[in-house]
Amino acid sequence: MSAQALKISGMTCDHCAASVQAALLGVVGVTRADVSYGAGTAQVETSADTPISALLNAVRAKGYGAEIGDDACCPPPSPQLSKLRVAIIGTGSAAFAAAIRAAEEGAEVTVIEASTIGGTCVNVGCVPSKIFIRAAHVAHLQAHHPFPGIAKHAPIIDHAALVAQQQARVEELRHAKYESILETNPGIKLARGFAHFKDEHTLLVKKTDGSEKEIMADRILIATGRSPQIPEIPGLAGTPYWTSTEALVAEPQPKHLIVYGGSVVALELAQAFLRLGSRVTLIARSGLLSKEDPAIGEGLKAALIEEGMRILTDRRVNAARFDGKTFHLDLDGETITGDRLLVATGRKPNTDGLHLDRAGVQTDAAGAIIVDDHLRTSAPNIFAAGDCTNAPQFVYVVAAAGTRAAINMTGGDAALDLSIVPAVVFTDPQVATVGLTEAQAAKRGIETDSRTLTLDNVPRALANFDTRGFIKLVAEKSSGRLIGAQVLAAEGGEIIQTAALSIRNRMTVADLAGQLFPYLTMAEGLKLCAQTFTKDVKQLSCCAG
């Protein structure tokens, strides 16, 4: 055990002293904390490996000043204890957000990576997929735009050139946002290899040559992400099926692509390949986007079928076979054939092989690490963030979790608020949602009132000659407070944050209906939908307030 004396500034009452005491007692390793408002001091007893920086950061996170005291009975910490040692497994969005913040807080950070720096988003997820989707959108417009005064023509596709451009941008962003940080931030070191736990403070890092390196840390963050979940289908193993990783860089363009899956990745890539010239058959085990409001899936299904996609819902693949040229998928009563197969049936957490049991880290039935709102696991010194946890799998949630985990690992107090999480599916029309659906509200015992506005009532959609979709608002019936929004629209992703902010600020639909929205924007549809709770918008002038 060791004792530390701190000078505390900014306290104005005994309640402040109690708040500082609670913050100090929340630091791992602190066994006692006596705080005096009158003297402006704190006497803290800690375990030998508790760094002084963790104590200072805990107090500062509460809004008070903190410095090392000059009490003669409490010598300053030894140089070995002056820096908190943080080890981070992974180098994706959560890992880097945490590494940067922890280094800013004065920690000595080691990130550990066995594969490509940067994780899913920049390498095989958000960045390459959105480039691919955008290119497909441009190709689609050349042949299918709504303006008769502009000649339509079938696009000429150079798939290899598209992949080359996409990968060049991936490499550019990977270097700018990840690799260059490792090169320029002296507080962050990189260790190469596959990490697994020896105990709650020790990681063993296996290198490519088979040797192992031991890394000791005061705090450990697990940020290992997820990878494609492949269903157990007889005959599938050993065939050259694609996951999204292979599909985004594959050449040449398939003639007939079979997509197995009915959620985000399956739908986004299926439509992109369709627009670039492939025949596409999509097989979904339930409905499309089955966790959303049913109207979303049905509306999107109609739009995709109109473009030429064949969609089979509530169907399962019973067996698969590849004859060297063609995939044969057996469904009940039908065999589907195609030259390529994309399996996009979900993603599983990358926790196998970490030996989490050695550190006392608990997971759920799917292998996801269970964390609380401070990103703490069941082990005192171990945190987790990102897709490997039971939190929502969105990169902006991941990054926010990484930052907050770092704050908490270095003695702060930051919660991850997941009460309002907007989401976007980048199909065309886009799916954008936030808050509760009617069904979700009902499960919570909330009585609702809702309205759905079709896009033929939105002036911007009419001007675009694209009225596919709708805007739906869900309100708490007793108060009129907005609690959810579901959007199916060509620019749904640009609309949804306004709804998210409205929910965050506890606005009613009447409040939203009374706001000023720029005319001829898609976001104006939110105002119009809010107005339908009390008015017939068909009877209003085009920009009526």
Spatial contact of 489 and 295, defined as CB atoms under 8 Å apart: no
Residue 74 appears among annotated catalytic residues: no
Among 64, 178, 241, 260, the one annotated catalytic: 64
Spatial contact of 382 and 220, defined as CB atoms under 8 Å apart: yes
* Closest by CA position to 167, among listed 249, 237, 287: 249
Cβ contacts of 141 within 8 Å, gap of 6 or more: none
Q: To which residue do tokens 């926010």 refer?
A: 400
Among 1, 13, 74, 522, the one annotated catalytic: 13
* Closest by CA position to 110, among listed 176, 45, 191: 191
Residue 388 appears among annotated catalytic residues: no
DSSP state of 176: I
* Closest by CA position to 346, among listed 366, 363, 326, 319: 366
Q: Kind of pairing, strands 85-89 and 219-222?
A: parallel
Q: Kind of pairing, strands 347-349 and 226-228?
A: antiparallel
* Closest by CA position to 469, among listed 440, 450, 448, 491: 491
Cβ contacts of 82 within 8 Å, gap of 6 or more: 51, 52, 53
* Alpha-carbon span 80 to 540, nearest angstrom: 72
Q: Which two tokens stand for residue 517?
A: 């929205």
Among 37, 74, 126, 396, the one annotated catalytic: 126
Q: Give the end-to-end CA distance of the chain in Å, rounded to a whole number.
A: 68
* Alpha-carbon span 436 to 79, nearest angstrom: 52
Residue 178 appears among annotated catalytic residues: no
Q: Kind of pairing, strands 202-206 and 212-216?
A: antiparallel
Cβ contacts of 175 within 8 Å, gap of 6 or more: none
Q: Which two tokens stand for residue 155?
A: 């696009």
Q: To which residue do tokens 């969105």 refer?
A: 394
Residue 64 appears among annotated catalytic residues: yes
Among 216, 396, 529, 542, the one annotated catalytic: 542
Q: Output the CA–CA distances (angstroms, integers) from residue 435 to 141, 420, 498, in the order listed.
A: 33, 6, 12
Among 309, 507, 519, 543, the one annotated catalytic: 543
Spatial contact of 453 and 532, defined as CB atoms under 8 Å apart: yes
Residue 529 appears among annotated catalytic residues: no
Among 11, 309, 522, 529, the one annotated catalytic: 11
Residue 13 appears among annotated catalytic residues: yes
Half-sphere exposure of 445 (CA within 13 A, CB side): 0
Q: Which two tokens stand for residue 504?
A: 């965050």
* Alpha-carbon span 200 to 215, nearest angstrom: 11
Q: Which two tokens stand for residue 531?
A: 């107005």
Neighbour-count burial for 112-134, b at 16+ CB within 10 Å, e otherwise: bbbeebbbbbbbbbbbbbebbbe
Q: Classify residue 323 as exposed, middle or buried by CB count within 10 Å of its CB (0-12, 13-18, 19+).
A: exposed
Among 16, 37, 74, 216, the one annotated catalytic: 16
As annotated, the active-site residues are: 11, 13, 16, 64, 121, 126, 542-543
